[in-house]
């Protein structure tokens, strides 16, 4: 297992968002996390990614305990081992497409020439080669999400966390974006955990779990009993 959550609980004031949630994710797996609005999906994702600390329970990443790690170590791990794609608002609109994708490399002290060469390679793979010089504020929603995927993958993360990555897109564009995301993740061996409301997005996953009232359930577990 690359990621494991054990009895995770997290409340906001008196509102419980997670109630002893358990989840185990295998390396290389594409996992869809579904469930009604307010069921705890975002909170779960944020805890797994080390962005939120749970009130109780454990989060493990690659055999290391994430939730009790020092902030400095956890932040470093998040920058190097995890990639993130959200619904929107993650690109710097004043910068070009190429700048946005090169940014994580430049922040990681990769030399300029090398960073832009690697960014260009990713843009090519995402069908964005012609848009490198464009400001991201001028892109369509689908183009912007493809840039966000390139930026999330450019450092070669072990796990890609995606929270409603197609939520702002029409369904055809959303399916195309998911197809690209999943295709690249498989080529790279990246584990993907994607929160989505959309069954058509979940259809790209290897496995699907449902969050209900702060607990994770496997929709196919019942069928094994019957
Ligand atoms: P989902 O992603 O499934 O919509 P969330 O994890 O966002 O669920 O929310 C789970 C529960 O926690 C909901 O009842 C939500 O209203 C509550 N919640 C989430 N974030 C906050 C917050 N920052 N402050 C207060 N309540 C929150
Ligand atoms: P999603 O359903 O995709 O999780 P939401 O609209 O529920 O999105 O939440 C968007 C943001 O608002 C999240 O950062 C979440 O933590 C916060 N949030 C959700 N519910 C509440 C709440 N009841 N009070 C304060 N913040 C909340």
Residue 47 near residue 67 (C-beta atoms within 8 A): yes
CA of 13, closest atom in ligand 1: 25
Nearest-CA residue for atom 7 of ligand 1: 42
Closest to 144 measured CA to CA, from 161, 169, 108 = 169
pTM passes above 0.95 = no
In this predicted model, what pLDDT tens digit does every residue of 59-78 receive, in sequence order?
999 999 999 999 999 999 99
Ligand 2: residues whose CB is within 6 Å?
Answer: 37, 42, 164
In this structure, how many other beta carbons lie within 10 angstroms of the beta carbon of residue 38?
Answer: 13
If you average pLDDT over residues 139-149, what whole number do you get?
94
Helix (H, G, I), strand (E, B) or coil at 39: coil
In this predicted model, what pLDDT tens digit does every residue of 12-54 receive, in sequence order?
999 999 999 999 999 999 999 999 999 999 999 999 999 999 9
CA of 44, closest atom in ligand 1: 6
Helix, strand, coil content of the chain in percent (nearest 5): 40, 25, 35
Residue 171 near residue 136 (C-beta atoms within 8 A): no
ipTM score of complex = 0.70
């Amino acid at each position: 297992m690359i990621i494991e959550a054990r009895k995770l609980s997290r409340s906001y004031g008196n509102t419980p968002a997670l109630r002893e949630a358990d989840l185990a994710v295998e390396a290389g797996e594409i996992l869809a996390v579904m469930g009604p609005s307010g069921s705890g999906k975002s909170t779960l994702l944020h805890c797994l990614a080390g962005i939120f600390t749970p009130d109780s329970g454990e989060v493990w990443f690659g055999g290391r305990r994430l939730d009790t790690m020092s902030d400095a170590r956890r932040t470093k791990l998040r920058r190097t081992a995890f990639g993130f794609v959200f619904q929107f608002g993650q690109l710097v609109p004043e910068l070009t497409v190429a700048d946005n994708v090169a940014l994580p490399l430049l922040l990681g002290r990769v030399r300029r020439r090398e960073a832009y060469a690697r960014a260009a390679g990713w843009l090519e793979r995402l069908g964005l080669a012609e848009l490198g010089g464009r400001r991201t504020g001028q892109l369509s929603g689908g183009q912007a999400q493809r840039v966000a995927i390139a930026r999330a993958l450019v450092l070669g993360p072990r796990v890609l966390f995606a929270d409603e990555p197609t939520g702002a897109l029409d369904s055809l564009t959303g399916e195309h974006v998911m197809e690209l995301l999943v295709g690249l993740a498989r080529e790279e061996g990246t584990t993907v955990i994607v929160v989505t409301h959309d069954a058509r997005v979940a259809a790209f996953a290897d496995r699907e779990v449902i969050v209900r009232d702060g607990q994770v359930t496997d929709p196919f577990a019942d069928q094994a009993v019957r």
